[in-house]
């Protein structure tokens, strides 16, 4: 991956954040699950949280509330999930950047999946229930002062060779 600013980090990783949990077992009453984010950057735009689960989610009283470091951000698996489906249930939450940034602050953050009281952690699915958590967003990078999604040091590097030089200009000159 290109590192045009020479800081040892891939440029894409400095302006885009993504994380995923392992399979978090079991999920149910008294057994919440969570994904720890180590010093996540502030979000530049909407944050996508995606959840997959296999468990006791078929009834309208069976769902999971989602919070980020104690700040409620939504509810998943309401009214359309299943009990132990062959394919896991999947749901996406979109969180506004302002709410996400407030919730994560400037330190580590925890995305917590809190099942409702009627979700049984082990009476279904052969005793194995689980949830996975995925998070993805465009980040505010300190080296992207104009907040256009590109590191300022990389703007103009059209041939992606790690520097801005006459070869980049040559790509726009007629042959």
Model confidence pLDDT, tens digit, residues 103-151: 999 899 999 999 999 999 887 788 789 999 999 999 887 666 666 666 6
Distance CA 26, CA 15 (A): 34
Mean predicted lDDT score pLDDT of the chain: 85
**Collapsing DSSP states into helix, strand and coil, what is residue 132?**
strand
What the block records as the tokens of 161 is 């060779």
pTM (two decimals): 0.81
- Span 25-49, pLDDT tens digits: 999 999 999 999 999 999 999 999 9
Which residue bears the tokens 């801005």? 164
């Amino acid at each position: 991956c290109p590192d045009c600013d020479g800081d040892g980090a891939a440029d894409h990783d400095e302006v885009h954040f993504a994380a995923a949990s392992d399979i978090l077992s079991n999920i149910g009453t008294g057994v919440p699950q969570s994904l720890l984010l180590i010093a996540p950057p502030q979000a530049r735009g909407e944050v996508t949280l995606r959840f997959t689960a296999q468990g006791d989610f078929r009834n309208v009283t069976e769902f999971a509330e989602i919070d980020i470091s104690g700040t409620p951000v939504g509810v998943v698996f309401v009214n359309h999930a299943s009990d132990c489906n062959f394919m896991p249930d999947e749901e996406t939450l979109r969180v506004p950047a302002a709410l996400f940034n407030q919730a994560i602050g400037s330190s580590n953050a925890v995305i917590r999946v809190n099942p409702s009281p009627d979700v049984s952690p082990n009476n279904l699915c052969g005793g194995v229930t689980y949830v996975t958590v995925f998070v993805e967003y465009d980040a505010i990078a300190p080296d992207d002062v104009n907040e256009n999604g590109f590191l300022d040091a990389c703007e103009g590097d059209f041939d992606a060779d790690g520097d801005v030089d006459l070869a980049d200009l040559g790509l726009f000159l007629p042959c």
